[in-house]
């Protein structure tokens, strides 16, 4: 099973996210990687996450998922940033934004922050 945390960067309604082996989820927040549905052998793709409107996903949560056998891939937004920060610990990065963080061209969280409504409404 593949679990994809996405929101403003890639709409959850994107046809590519509607396959039977893929679970599209809203932007990741603190505690989301502890979901019992995310099991060893699964893959989590982290694209979007919350920053200010709710507690953010912590590095330790990603590391704990990797330690229990979950493959974690980051791209595009907060996923690219976290993958660059945690690549030495087993997180996999993908894409231009990830590469820019690895090269030091991008350095801060604010460079990938994507506006989201406080209630999670992606259309706001």
Pick from 9, 70, 4, 8: which is nearest to 34 by CA? Answer: 70
Res. 45 pLDDT band, cuts 50 70 90 = very high
Q: Taking the model in full, what pTM does it have? A: 0.87
Pick the more confident residue, 9 or 122. Answer: 9
Evaluate whether residue 85 is within a structural domain: yes
Query: Do residues 12 and 26 make contact, with C-beta atoms less than 8 angstroms apart?
Result: yes
Res. 113 pLDDT band, cuts 50 70 90 = low
**In which order are the strands placed within the sheet that holds 2-5?**
22-25, 2-5, 43-46, 71-75, 92-94
Q: CA–CA distance from 7 to each of 22, 38, 50, 68 (Å)?
A: 15, 19, 10, 26
Evaluate whether residue 117 is within a structural domain: no
Evaluate whether residue 101 is within a structural domain: yes
Evaluate whether residue 120 is within a structural domain: no
Residues 6+ apart with CB under 8 A from 12: 6, 24, 25, 26, 122
Evaluate whether residue 122 is within a structural domain: no
Number of domains in the chain: 1
Evaluate whether residue 118 is within a structural domain: no
Domain extent at residue 56? 2-111
Of 31-35, 81-85, 92-96, 117-121, the range with the lowest mean pLDDT is: 117-121
Of 23-27, 48-52, 74-78, 94-98, the range with the lowest mean pLDDT is: 48-52
Q: Summarize pLDDT for 89-104 with one digit per residue, the tens.
A: 999 999 999 999 999 9
């Amino acid at each position: 099973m593949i679990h994809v945390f996405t929101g403003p960067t890639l709409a959850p309604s994107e046809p590519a996210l509607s396959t039977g082996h893929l679970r599209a989820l809203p932007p990741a927040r603190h505690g989301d990687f502890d979901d019992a549905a995310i099991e060893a052998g699964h893959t989590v793709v982290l694209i979007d996450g919350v920053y200010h409107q709710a507690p953010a996903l912590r590095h330790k949560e990603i590391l704990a998922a990797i330690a229990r056998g979950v493959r974690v891939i980051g791209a595009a937004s907060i996923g690219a940033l976290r993958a660059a920060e945690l690549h030495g610990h087993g997180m996999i990065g993908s894409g231009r934004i990830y590469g820019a963080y690895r090269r030091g061209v991008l350095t801060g969280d604010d460079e990938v922050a994507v506006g989201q409504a406080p209630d999670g409404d992606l259309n706001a």
